[in-house]
């Protein structure tokens, strides 16, 4: 269903709502396109004219600084006009329906909506109702998906490791509430990763998570054994209902990544985190800042990946 909605009749990427269901060729095309945009960041004038005359609206119903900023930078580097809608004071907050808000913005000539929403499926809902010339990018919906974050993570891994088929990747922490983890798992399996592990206490794992094609570990030391990449996740306390953990201190004792624990992984293991990081909760500072950490690289790659997705969905580059 998602794939049908994302691709038009000619097989072109019209929306980007989820990684699930997209073929390996599309994931690699997005990364290849991002590769071509990396040089824009070091040009004297950090712009290309691909989306000149286009209007992009960042419609964020959840607070976000880094994701919204990188989407805004990506659109501006493509020369688009960008509107950031303050949902807290928008017509939606005054009682107008989401669909009426979208239609009013469409009437102003919008070409793309970048949507973040607390409800799973919000971006899909909007994509089903926009005009044929309008594209929708999912910037995170509920616990469901965060496809551009997953793609920038894959892009970062490819930069260092090249061949996914040789990789064992451990995703550690709050899998239950993480839309990022779900998108990463789909992307890693589509790209042919040798093994994807999820490492977490039972209370922070979705029911039947094995069906996503992962190996489950409840012990961090075992989960890190010979891993090529370890991705730490933020504890999403704002999404937790009830006490799922004894304490943050206990979580760090059992599942926090320290330098001593990292020695279980391969010597060239990458350390990743989609951010924002909580030092001393998910990861020790000595690891977050070590030579194997590519956390800041991930942030920088976010702009190139979002430029690629915007350019592909609006047909500014060959898809």
Feature table: binding site for carbamoyl phosphate: 66-67, 116, 146, 149, 275-276
Under 8 Å between Cβ of 162 and 192: no
Longest Cα–Cα distance in the chain: 57
Give the up-direction half-sphere exposure of residue 141: CA atoms within 13 A in the CB hemisphere.
Answer: 22
**Residues comprising the binding site?**
66-67, 94, 116, 146, 149, 179, 234, 275-276
Q: What angle do CA 211, 151, 195 make, to 5 degrees?
A: 40
Q: Write the CB contacts of 50 (distance below 8 Å, at least 6 apart in sequence).
A: 78, 79, 311, 316, 317
Under 8 Å between Cβ of 117 and 85: no
Q: What is the CA radius of gyration of the chain?
A: 19
**Residues comprising the binding site for L-aspartate?**
94, 179, 234
Could you give the CA distance from residue 187 to residue 170 in angstroms, rounded to a whole number? 14
């Amino acid at each position: 269903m998602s794939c049908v909605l994302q691709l038009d009749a000619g097989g072109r990427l019209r929306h980007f709502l989820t990684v699930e269901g997209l073929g390996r060729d599309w994931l690699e095309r997005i990364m290849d396109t991002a590769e071509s945009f990396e040089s824009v960041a070091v040009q004297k004038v950090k712009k290309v004219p691909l989306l000149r005359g286009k209007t992009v609206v960042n419609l964020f119903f959840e607070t976000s600084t880094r994701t919204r900023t990188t989407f805004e930078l990506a659109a501006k580097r493509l020369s688009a006009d960008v509107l950031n809608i303050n949902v807290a004071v928008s017509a939606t907050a005054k009682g107008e329906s989401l669909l009426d808000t979208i239609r009013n913005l469409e009437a102003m000539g919008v070409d793309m909506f970048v949507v973040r929403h607390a409800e799973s499926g919000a971006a899909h809902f909007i994509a089903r109702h926009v005009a044929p010339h309008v594209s929708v990018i999912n910037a995170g919906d509920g616990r469901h998906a965060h496809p551009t974050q997953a793609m920038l993570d894959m892009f970062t891994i490819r930069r260092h490791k090249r061949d996914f088929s040789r990789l064992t990747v451990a995703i550690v922490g709050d899998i239950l509430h993480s839309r990022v983890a779900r998108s990463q798992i789909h992307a890693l399996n589509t790209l042919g990763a040798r093994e994807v592990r999820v490492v977490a206490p039972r209370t922070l794992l979705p029911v039947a998570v094995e069906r996503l094609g992962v190996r489950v570990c409840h012990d961090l030391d075992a989960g890190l054994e010979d891993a090529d990449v370890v991705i730490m996740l933020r504890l999403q306390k704002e999404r937790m209902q009830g006490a799922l953990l004894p304490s943050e201190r206990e979580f760090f004792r059992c599942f926090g990544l320290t330098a001593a624990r990292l020695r279980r992984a391969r010597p060239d293991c990458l350390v990743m985190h989609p951010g924002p990081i909580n030092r001393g909760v998910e990861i020790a500072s000595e690891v977050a800042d070590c030579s194997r950490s590519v956390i800041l690289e991930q942030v920088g790659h976010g702009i190139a990946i979002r430029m690629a997705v915007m350019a592909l969905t609006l047909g500014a580059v060959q898809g």
